[in-house]
Amino acid sequence: MAKTCDIVIGGGGMVGLTLGLALAKGGLNVAIADPLPQSTVVDAKFDGRVSALAYAAVRMFQALGIWEHLAPHAQSIEDILVTDGAPGREPSPFSLHFDADEAGTPLGHIAENRFIRASLFAEAATTPNLTIVSPASMEDLTLEAQGIVATLSNGDVYSARLAVAADGRDSAMRERMGIGVVGWS
């Protein structure tokens, strides 16, 4: 028998988890299927990249309760200089300079992806109407009269009003559903 939720999300990375938290905190019952266990994606060896979080993203994280977990691991962006130039040549005399002192607030923050993920998981653990199913991926979607039926790789079946594929740029679900993309290197 299918479990019921409002939204089922395939992919529990930074995008899927953030969306899931926002929807759950908005009062919806959300299930997220992620093929990678939490312990894997918060390990320093998994992903050494960092992300720049714009001012608006930080405000969203604050509103969702994520920022209190992430703030100790984030570095503020105090200056941004935008200029045109090429390696070995002088920069263009025309540039844009953004200064946190003039704005009265940091322009954004930089944080390691593992800390962003850990902060998302920490907040998810305190959100009662959010379920993370892991390891499991969304394998199939079927449109039925009452909504969407999502079948997960672990055999779970979810009946929902909406399904979201947040399984990355090489989305297996997008491919299964025949949704094309236009891209370039």
- At 90 the pLDDT is 82
Range of the domain at 43: 3-76+107-176
- At 178 the pLDDT is 87
Is residue 84 in a domain?
Answer: no
Is residue 55 in a domain?
Answer: yes
DSSP bridge pairs for 160:
148
Q: What is the CATH number of the domain that holds 10?
A: 3.50.50.60
Q: If we measure between CA atoms, which residue out of 49, 21, 44 comes closest to residue 123?
A: 21
Cβ atoms of residues 46 and 114 within 8 Å: yes
Is residue 184 in a domain?
Answer: no
Q: In which residue are the tokens 């002192």 written?
A: 101
Instruction: Tell me how many domains the chain contains.
Output: 1
Is residue 117 in a domain?
Answer: yes
Is residue 88 in a domain?
Answer: no
User: pLDDT tens digits, the chain, 185 residues: what are they?
Assistant: 899 999 999 999 999 999 999 999 999 999 999 999 999 999 999 989 999 999 999 999 999 999 999 999 999 999 998 888 788 888 788 889 999 999 999 999 999 999 999 999 999 999 999 999 999 999 999 999 889 999 999 999 999 999 999 998 888 888 888 888 888 88
* 3-state SS track over 20-75: HHHHHHCCCCEEEECCCCHHHHCCCCCCCCEEEEEHHHHHHHHHHCCHHHHHHHEE
Is residue 120 in a domain?
Answer: yes
